[in-house]
């Protein structure tokens, strides 16, 4: 029987051989190189997470805005601009205008403007009140107040007679309304049923150039001026049959006007227009009413 195989044993040695005999008084050796800079402490995990969260929020907002712009097509809202006023309102102290303007991309913007107040001096009373018989409705004017008279005097006499105007537009650009000179300046002063039409020259001179007596004006029915009549006795409120009877020796025609509809025209023997005005249409001239008596348009003589 053979001996059991045993692995070779390593040579014996002393693991403490060569070590210095320590007494406990020697200093411990340095664990790190003292010349190296101190290491930066690691960041707090909470701070790092907060920064990442803020970055994600900002990124989400940016993506949302980009997506919304794509959905709306990136169209900008139309802006409102101002432009010089060209159309006047019933308010004598302001002018307003509005209009549409096409842009290069095919869209349309609407502009609205209110101009600065118009400065003008109110007419003052001149002399004593006139009897209504002195203010007959004639081709040449209102009785003793003739067309072509300086407006300060002519309208001043009306102020003395009827009191302060119920409205005064001040100088405005004429559009052809009230028979004024289109494109020029006109001033319309109303005394209830009566409107005095004043033409304003480029140099500022104001001339009494026409009148209109009309039942449809504000405060017309209650004003003293509603009782004015023509030299032959026609008054607003009379029917068309009365009109024809009063002017039986004249040419009276009922025609259609583009602005006022059905109107009467009173013409002389030569065919010249003397007076005119709107009338109602009841189908019977006996009940059709004369609503207004107008002088010839101012643009025929003062433009």
| Lowest mean pLDDT across 42-51, 169-178, 192-201, 235-244 | 42-51
Asked if residue 166 lies in contact with residue 191, where contact means CB atoms within 8 angstroms, the answer is: yes
As a whole number, the mean pLDDT across the chain is 79
Res. 13: pLDDT tops 90: no
* DSSP state, residue 87: E
CA–CA separation, 62 and 55 (whole Å): 11
Spell out the residues 6+ positions from residue 163 whose beta carbon is closer than 8 angstroms to its own.
191
Looking up tokens 């002519």 gives 154
Spell out the residues 6+ positions from residue 265 whose beta carbon is closer than 8 angstroms to its own.
252, 253, 254, 255, 273, 276
Asked if residue 100 lies in contact with residue 112, where contact means CB atoms within 8 angstroms, the answer is: no
Angle at CA of residue 135, ends 132 and 138, nearest 5°: 140
Looking up tokens 């008596």 gives 293
Spell out the residues 6+ positions from residue 92 whose beta carbon is closer than 8 angstroms to its own.
118, 120, 167, 168, 169, 170, 172
Residue 79: what pLDDT?
42
Residue 123: what pLDDT?
98
Looking up tokens 């104001």 gives 206
The pLDDT confidence band at residue 119, using thresholds 50, 70 and 90, is: confident
Point out which residues pair with 251 in neighbouring strands.
Answer: 267
Instruction: Determine how β-strand 292-294 pairs with β-strand 145-146.
Output: unpaired
CA–CA separation, 97 and 291 (whole Å): 31
Asked if residue 172 lies in contact with residue 186, where contact means CB atoms within 8 angstroms, the answer is: yes
Asked if residue 190 lies in contact with residue 94, where contact means CB atoms within 8 angstroms, the answer is: no
Residue 95: what pLDDT?
43
CA–CA separation, 258 and 176 (whole Å): 12
pLDDT digits (tens, 9 = 90+) for 16-55: 555 555 555 556 555 555 665 555 555 555 666 667 777 7
Full-model pTM: 0.63
If you average pLDDT over residues 272-283, what whole number do you get? Answer: 96
Torsion, Cα of 68, 70, 74, 75 (10° steps):
-90
Res. 77: pLDDT tops 50: no
Residue 116: what pLDDT?
40
In 3D space, the residue among 130, 131, 132 whose CA is nearest the CA of residue 235 turns out to be: 132
CA–CA separation, 14 and 20 (whole Å): 14
If you average pLDDT over residues 190-219, what whole number do you get? Answer: 96
CA–CA separation, 293 and 282 (whole Å): 19
CA–CA separation, 271 and 288 (whole Å): 24
């Amino acid at each position: 029987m053979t001996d059991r195989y045993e692995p070779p044993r390593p040579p014996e040695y002393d693991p403490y051989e060569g070590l210095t005999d320590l007494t406990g008084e020697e200093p411990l050796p340095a664990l790190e190189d003292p010349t190296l800079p101190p290491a930066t402490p690691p960041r707090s995990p909470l701070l790092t997470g907060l920064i990442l969260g803020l970055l994600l929020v900002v990124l989400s907002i940016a993506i949302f805005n980009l997506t919304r712009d794509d959905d709306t097509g990136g169209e900008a809202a139309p802006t409102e601009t101002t432009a010089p006023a060209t159309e006047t309102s019933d308010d004598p102290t302001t002018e307003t205008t509005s209009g549409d303007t096409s842009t290069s991309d095919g869209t349309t913007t609407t502009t609205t403007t209110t101009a600065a107040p118009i400065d003008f001096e109110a007419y003052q009373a001149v002399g004593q009140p006139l009897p209504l018989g002195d203010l007959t409705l004639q081709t040449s004017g209102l009785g003793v107040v003739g067309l072509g008279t300086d407006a300060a005097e002519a309208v001043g006499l009306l102020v003395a007679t009827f009191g302060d105007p119920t409205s005064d537009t001040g100088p405005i650009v004429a559009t052809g309304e009230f028979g004024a000179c289109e494109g020029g300046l006109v001033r319309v002063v109303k005394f209830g049923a009566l409107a005095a039409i004043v033409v304003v020259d480029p140099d500022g001179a104001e001339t009494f150039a026409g009148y209109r007596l009309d039942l449809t004006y504000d405060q017309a029915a209650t004003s003293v001026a509603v009782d004015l009549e023509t030299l032959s006795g026609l008054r607003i409120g009379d029917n068309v049959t009365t009109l024809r009877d009063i002017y039986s020796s004249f040419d009276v025609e009922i025609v259609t006007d583009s602005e006022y509809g059905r109107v009467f025209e009173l013409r002389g023997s030569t065919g010249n227009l003397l007076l005119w005005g709107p009338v109602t249409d009841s189908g019977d001239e006996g009940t059709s009413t004369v609503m207004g008596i107008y002088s010839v348009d101012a643009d025929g003589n003062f433009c």
